[in-house]
Amino acid sequence: MTDIDPWGDVEIADYGRTMERFGIEPIASVADRLPDNRLVRRGIVFGQRDLETVLDARDRGDPFAVMTGLMPSGVFHFGHLAVLDQARMFQEMGAELTLCVADIEAYATRDIPLDEARELAVEEYLLNYVALGLDLDATDFYFQSEAGNDHLVRSKLFSRYVTQNEFEATYGTAAPGKLASALTQYADILRPQAPENGGPKPTVVPVGIDQDPHVRLTRDVASRYRETAYVKPASTYHRFMRGLQGGKMSSSDPTSYIALTDSVSEAKRKIDAAKTGGRTSVEEHREKGGVIEEDMVFELLAFHLIRDDDELARIRREYESGAMLSGELKEIAKERLEVFLREHHENRKEARPKVEAYLEERTETGFGVDT
Ligand code: TRP
């Protein structure tokens, strides 16, 4: 059986089995120690490793961190929101937040030039993050290509602590670009614990389960590295939101996602074309009800657009009983999307000068990137 390929097309058929196989614990075992959170309540965040280390630090009043990253390879869409929501949950609990733009990884594994990666990162990540309320001044935000000498040196030193066998067994390859990206990512994950950042300290990494191979090997590196007594990083995992047509949501297929920069009319068209769990005729739908598990519009509502549990439960009941038709469900989604996107686009406009000022103030000099 092959491992999960973080650079491949990851589709998880059975989350329970995947958890068992890789030793991921259910989030339920620590949920009562977390703040009330929609993604946790709804089982969208389903798994964790060692989250106790972070929660214990919080309880003791000790410093702890949350760290995650994104590869700038396409637009920022609703499928990306779960990571940011979790990062903010931990930040509200008192964690220091570190956010990385994986531009080296994009270059080495996707052939995306650094200047293009930077532009994507600003337009798609930074502007959306700030529009969604992220405070950049309270965040260690960085590009891998500007991570600083110590960071990049550590990423090389870490090579000492992973064998070729482990690497190949985990990733199915030891291709140079993947080696370089993986080692850089271990340094990313351990960055909040670096001496210059006041480490070691418990750190949680919210990621999609496709990134778990990196988490596992970083945990090995953390326990083997001699120079710093790293705490093995903790992690949380969320379910992937499926694409609007069913199947995988993919950045390379615009019909599969709604981007945060999609116009309202474009977003509505995508909802109109989305796969539903509706029956073939109104009569059949009224009689048997909609198949909610097959309904991608409901999935979007459940993940992000409906915050109130009672309201979501009412929609579920009405849809499953046949009282609500797919067209009516789509109308709800379109209304919510319109409100969300209009507000978000407005917030993006306000975010732009803040982001520009922030980038201006940065002292780092990019690697061969004119900014
Ligand atoms: N590999 C991640 C992706 O493909 C990006 C990434 C780089 C990352 N460094 C990280 C994610 C550290 C989490 C933590 O999107």
188 and 84, same structural domain? yes
For residue 1, being part of any structural domain is answered with: no
At 371 the pLDDT is 41
How many domains, in total, are found in the chain? Answer: 2
- Kindly report, residue by residue over 105-140, the tens digit of the pLDDT: 999 999 999 999 999 999 999 999 999 999 999 999
Residue-number span of the structural domain to which 268 is assigned = 254-348
> How far apart are the CA of 200 and the centre of ligand 1, in A?
20
> How far apart are the CA of 69 and the centre of ligand 1, in A?
4
Order of strands across the sheet with 139-143? 25-26, 45-49, 234-238, 203-208, 65-70, 96-101, 139-143
**Which of 66, 76, 100, 143 best tests ligand 1's pocket when mutated (most atoms within 8 Å of CB)?**
100
For residue 355, being part of any structural domain is answered with: no
Q: What is the CATH number of the domain that holds 203?
A: 3.40.50.620
- Rounded distance between C-alpha atoms, residue 7 and residue 325, angstroms: 39
Peptide bond into 206 cis (omega under 30): no
202 and 65, same structural domain? yes
At 164 the pLDDT is 95
Rounded average pLDDT per 10-residue block, the chain, 371 residues:
79 90 96 96 97 98 97 93 96 96 96 95 95 93 96 97 95 95 98 95 96 97 95 97 93 95 98 97 97 97 97 98 98 98 98 94 59 41
Do the Cβ atoms of 226 and 196 come closer than 8 Å? no
- Rounded distance between C-alpha atoms, residue 272 and residue 17, angstroms: 34
232 and 102, same structural domain? yes
For residue 58, being part of any structural domain is answered with: yes
231 and 342, same structural domain? no
pTM: 0.94
CB 277 near ligand 1, within 6 Å: no
148 and 59, same structural domain? yes
CB proximity list for 183: less than 8 A, separation 6 or greater = 155, 156, 158, 159, 162
Token couple for 235: 């992690």
At 2 the pLDDT is 59
At 304 the pLDDT is 96
259 and 236, same structural domain? no
CB 155 near ligand 1, within 6 Å: no
231 and 193, same structural domain? yes
Q: What is the CATH number of the domain that holds 333?
A: 1.10.240.10
Which letter does DSSP use for residue 35 in this model?
Answer: P
For residue 320, being part of any structural domain is answered with: yes
CB 300 near ligand 1, within 6 Å: no
- Rounded distance between C-alpha atoms, residue 45 and residue 51, angstroms: 13
For residue 296, being part of any structural domain is answered with: yes
Q: Helix, strand or coil for residue 97?
A: strand
Question: Among 275, 290, 299, 278, which residue's Cα sits nearest to residue 42?
Answer: 299
For residue 248, being part of any structural domain is answered with: no
- How many other CB atoms sit within 10 Å of the CB of residue 112? 19
CB 98 near ligand 1, within 6 Å: no
Distance between terminal CA atoms of the chain?
45
CB 185 near ligand 1, within 6 Å: yes
